[in-house]
A and B are shown apart, each in its own frame.
Chain A
Amino acid sequence: MKINETPAQREFVAGQRRRKRAVLACRILLLAAVLTIWEVCAGLGIINDFIFSSPSRIIRCFYTMLLDGSIFLHTGVTVLETLVSFFLVVTIGILGAILLWSSRTLSEIMDPYLVMLNSLPKSALAPILIVWLGNNMRTIVVAAVSVAVFGSILTLHNGFRSVDPDQIRLIYSLGGNRADVLKKVLLPGSVPLIISNMKVNIGLCLVGVIIGEFLSAQAGLGYLIIYGSQVFKLDLVMMSIVILCGLSAFLYQAIAVLERKVQGTE
């Protein structure tokens, strides 16, 4: 606490802290309440725990798979596929945006096609991808990339185009060429945009991976969900969904940390 703080300022800060703690407490309470009601209803037979599962059944299922190690395999496969497609999307997104920026004619030619591909529901492509690429991890990665890549190219290209023309003029007046504009202004100036785009992409890649795993996989959380529902092991399905929740929150937070790091250095 600073020495010259007025009582009013101290009161304000304390008030804000109290509010923050209250919000956190309510969040935890809400989760606990939902889990308790679910467990109690399942225990009393109000809902059929064979269909709706229950927190304790999910934990038991998780524990069994932890013992035989299969949970690591499935989660690991999904994480791997998500990260590979994420890196591909980021790379292709940046390169594609640079390519479109480098030629106005090309960007005008490609624009309607990119917009169309971006709004196409990508799950429609998945069956075709299986036929073309086979029943393997490659199909899943391509499916995931297709979900995110077009939007990424469009967003980044838009960002490049909205750079202040005077900044570009500055580079030219210092004797630079288009490559200098790219290296000195567009790329460094677009770092915040690239990162906020990454936040969107990591979520979309996870969606794409799960769609892909639904259709063609021998392992992964999406595979567990489909397999579990086919053999009526709904504990397995519910557990996979819970892990997916945790996974997506974790991946998103990882990018948020990266974002704060970058902002910190600027």
Chain B
Amino acid sequence: MIPKLEVRNLNYSYHTMDGETTALSDISFSVKSGEFIAVVGPSGCGKSTLLSLICGLFKPDSGTILLDGRPVRRASSGIGYMLQKDHLFEWRTIRSNASLGLEIRKKMDDLHKSRVAGLLETYGLEPFSGARPSQLSGGMRQRAALIRTLALEPDLLLLDEPFSALDYQTRLAVCDDISTIIRDRKKTAVLITHDLSEAVSVADRVLVLTGRPGHVGAELTVSFASGETSPLKRRNEPEFSTYFNEIWRLLQRGAEHLPDPKGNYAEVLHEN
């Protein structure tokens, strides 16, 4: 079966007058349809760059990115991108913020408008559809941003630390909320996060990137014996802390640049 997303030998460097920064070096991984993967890695290792490349906003120096087996086009409508901040525009109502993508793609017909209305209804924002973003709580704003992304019906969602601007309590709730929505809609998702417990609680698989230049240091499949997918409940499962410690160890190892030629773990794909 063709994977939903396949990234092969991807390289990318930034060029400025101060010099060249290699952000990503030889990244390869693939994501199955319906899979939820999390990407963790030290700050500045190129995680955001990776998403921009997948979304087609930047052109890779070398390597290929295949979506459903075909090379990605720039901002293909099959991909939805959620950024760290919700970036809801204060001069628009929630409804018109949620329809921004439709407006840009000139799809403001009745069918699509009623779909946005349906999404707002389903996710409890209908009473606020005429409100301004500043009148909503942080969690509701993230939902509105998710609806803006879902309105274009992408199969693949790219999430760049979408919860990191929220306080801890809200963050747990919103993470549970959003990832449940994504799973219910059977979307494929790539989530970037700094929070290891968040990675373990939402993902089917965790990619651990090494420090700059980013490189896939390890890949860890997360599976719970109970088959639990709700992030809040997963946190109480016995395997949770095992996975957490494992990712922590992999990250530390990457940070110290200690090569591990034997590869004690079956999940380790690429060695430094």
Contact = CB atoms under 8 A, between A and B. Distances in A.
A170 B103 CA distance: 13
Given A166-B83, A191-B91, A184 B104 contact: yes
Interface of B: 52, 55, 57, 74-75, 77, 79-81, 83-85, 87, 89-92, 100-101, 103-105, 132, 148, 152
Size bin of chain A's contact surface = 10 to 19
A185 B89 contact: yes
Contacts of B148: 174
A266 to B, nearest CB: 6
A174 B101 contact: yes
A11 interface: no
Given A173-B81, A175-B77, A189 B105 contact: no
Given A174-B105, A175-B104, A180-B104, A169 B57 contact: yes
B57 A184 contact: no
Contacts, number: 53
A176 interface: yes
A16 interface: no
Nearest to A262: B91
Contact of B83 (A170, A184, A188, A189): A170
Contact of A173 (B55, B103, B132): B55
6 contacts: A169-B83, A171-B104, A173-B75, A173-B81, A176-B75, A266-B90
Closest CB pairs A-B (n = 3): A173-B81, A174-B101, A176-B104
A167 B91 CA distance: 13
A175 B101 contact: yes
B87 A174 contact: no
B226 to A, nearest CB: 36
A121 to B, nearest CB: 36
Contact of A174 (B85, B89, B100): B100
Interface string A148-177: 000000000000000010110111111110
A170 B160 CA distance: 12
B87 A166 contact: yes
A29 B89 CA distance: 47
Contacts of B91: 188-189, 191, 266
A184 B77 CA distance: 19
A184 B148 CA distance: 14
